[in-house]
Amino acid sequence: MGRAKKIIVVGSSHGGYEAVQQVLQDAPDAEIQWYEKGQFLSFLSYGMQRYLEGTVKEIDSARYAAEASGRDKNLRVFLQQEITAVDAAAHTVHVIDHAAPDGAARGGREESYDKLIISPGADPIRLPVEGGGLANIHVMRGRDWAIKLKEATIDPDIGNVVIIGAGYIGIEAAEVFVKAGKHVTIIDLQPRMLAMYLDAEFTDILTGTLAQHGVVLATGQRVLRYEGVDGKVARVVTDRCAYPADLVIEAAGVRANTDWLDGVVERDKRGLIAVDDHQATSATDIYAVGDATTVRFAPTGGRVHLALATNARRQGRIAAKNALGEDVSFTPVSGSSGLPVFDYKFASTGIKECTASEYGVSAKFVFVEDLYRPSFVQADAGNAPVYFKLAYAPENGRVLGAQIMSIQNTTANINAIALAIQLHATVQDLAYADFFFQPGLNSPWNIINVAAQQAAREIGE
C-alpha cells in the first residue's frame, strides 16, 4: 500500500483530531502538519455546559489533545496559523501566521502536501437584525465564548437572559443560566422546542419541565430587533412581544465555514462540501470531514447534513485511512444523539414523525409508556416512567428510528435501535430480541420489545 509522505490536517476539533490520530497509528513515519487558527488546540464545545455549571473545573481540560502531543512522531502542530487558500493543482496551501511578530511573516507562506484533510467546521449563525452590534450578545461555541459565558453566570448585573433557539445548544444554555439564578426566556421560530429532535409526546413533557424551572418558552416567534441602553442589549423584540434582556445568547444554528474553499472543491448552496463515501472531495488528494460535510443516512441511504461530533470523528478516521491508500467506506449513520434536560434524559435516532416528510419517508409509529423497573419497585428506589416511540416502514416492518426519555437514564437503548437501522432489522426481529432483565436495573420486558411487539401486531392486522 502506497504511503503519503506529507499530510496536512486543517482543524483540531473532532474530525481533525481523529484524522491525526489515525495517521499516527497507521503511518508513524509520515510527516503531519496540523493547523489550528485559534490559540488553543482541540477545544470541545460539547463540554461547555459542564464547564459553565462547574462540574468541569478547568476550561483547558475540555479538549482531546495538548499542543505537544505526538511531537516525537513527526507531528508538527501550528497554532494561530490559518490556511486561507488551497492550490489543488499544485498541491500547496497558503498559511497566515496570526502570531508572527513581524509583518513579513504574517504575510504568509506556502506549504506543500501529498494529502490534505480539512475539517473546517461551522460558525454560529448571527441574526441579521437591527441591534446586532450591541454588547452582551453572545454565542455558545468555542473556548473564548465559554470564558465570557462563565463570567456572565456570576455577573450580578445580568438578571434576564434571552436565548435565541430552542435546539440542543439553546436548551443547554437555558439550564446553565437557570442554575446560575437568572431569569431565562427561550425564543424560537418553530412551534415547539427541540422540534427537529423529538416528537410532541416528548416535548410536551419537557415544556412543562422548563416551566417548572421558571423558563419562559416563547415559541412560534420571530426576532425583529435588539434594543439597547448605553450600548448594551436591553430588550429583544419579536413579532409578538418584547422581552427584557441583559444578555442574549444566539443559538439559531450554524453555517459551514467554507467560503475560503470557493473554486477549490465542489460545495452546495449551503456551503457544504461534496464528499463521497471515502470522504474524498471533488479535488484530487483533498478530503473533508465534520460539520461542513454531509453523511450517508442509514434509514434512507441518501446524504444529509448531521452536525454531530460522533459523525465527525468517524469521518476523520475514514478520511485518514483513505488518504493513506486504504479503500474504506464511511458506515451510514442515523443521527443518534441525546441530551439531559433538568431531570429528564432523552435520546433519538433515525426517522421521527416530525422529520419523516422532510426525508420523504412513509413511516408508521408506535408510542409506548412503561416503567424503568418492575412495578413493585418504588419511585424513591429508582423507578420512573419510560417513554418510547418506534418508527418503522409499514410495508415490511423495517426499523427506521426511535426516541426514548425518562428521569432515569435509559438513553443507551437508542444505540440498539441505531444498530437495528444499520442492519436493516425489522420490528419482528426486535419483538422478541434477547435483552437481559434484572429487577435492580430494568424491567422484565425491555421497552424496545414492548414497542416492537405492538408494531408487529399492527402489521399483522
Provide block-wise average pLDDT over 10 residues at a time, the chain (461 residues). Answer: 81 94 94 92 78 84 61 82 97 94 73 98 94 96 89 96 97 97 98 96 98 98 98 98 98 95 97 98 98 97 95 97 98 97 98 96 97 92 95 97 97 98 98 94 95 95 62
Asked, for residue 76, whether it belongs to a domain, the answer is yes
pLDDT at 42: 73
- Say whether both 141 and 196 belong to one domain: yes
The predicted pLDDT at position 1 comes to 44
Q: Structural domain of residue 296, as residue ranges?
A: 6-122+264-323
Q: Do 173 and 188 touch, CB atoms closer than 8 A?
A: no
Element (H, E) at 26: helix 14-26
Residue 304's CB is within 10 A of a number of other CB atoms, namely 15
How many CB atoms sit inside 10 A of residue 96's CB? 17
Cβ atoms 223, 230 nearer than 8 A: no
Residues 114, 141, single domain; the answer is no
Per the confidence metrics, is the pTM higher than 0.85?
Answer: yes
In a domain, 335, yes or no: no
Q: Is 214 exposed, middle or buried (0-12, 13-18, 19+ CB in 10 A)?
A: exposed
Query: By three-state DSSP, how is residue 425 classified?
Result: coil
**Quick one: 160 and 72 in the same domain?**
no
Q: What is the pLDDT of residue 400?
A: 98
State the CATH number of the domain containing residue 388.
Answer: 3.30.390.30
Taking the CA atoms of residue 369, residue 371, residue 374 and residue 377 in that order, the dihedral angle to the nearest 10 degrees is -150
Asked whether residue 339 is assigned to any structural domain, the reply reads no
- 211 lies in the same domain as 180: yes
Q: Indicate if 246 and 270 belong to the same structural domain.
A: no
**319 and 282, same domain (yes or no):** yes
d(CA 253, CA 271): 14
Are 67 and 151 members of one domain?
Answer: no
128 inside domain: no
Same domain, 116 and 142: no
Is 131 inside a domain boundary? no
Nearest CA to 352 out of 344, 360, 363 is that of: 363
Q: For residue 44, give Cα distances in angstroms to 48, 66, 147, 300, 387.
A: 7, 12, 13, 30, 31
CATH number of residue 236's parent domain? 3.50.50.60
In this structure, are 443 and 397 located in the same domain?
yes
Secondary structure percentages of the chain, helix, strand, coil, to 5:
25, 30, 45
Structural domain count, the chain? 3
Does residue 79 fall inside a structural domain? yes
Is 199 in the same domain as 242?
yes
The pLDDT, as a whole number, for residue 220 is 97
Domain boundary (227, 250, 273) is at: 250
Element (H, E) at 86: strand 81-87
Predicted pLDDT at 365: 98
* Residues 451 and 359 occupy one common structural domain: yes
The answer to the question of residue 1 being in a domain is no
- Same domain? For 183 and 118 the reply is no
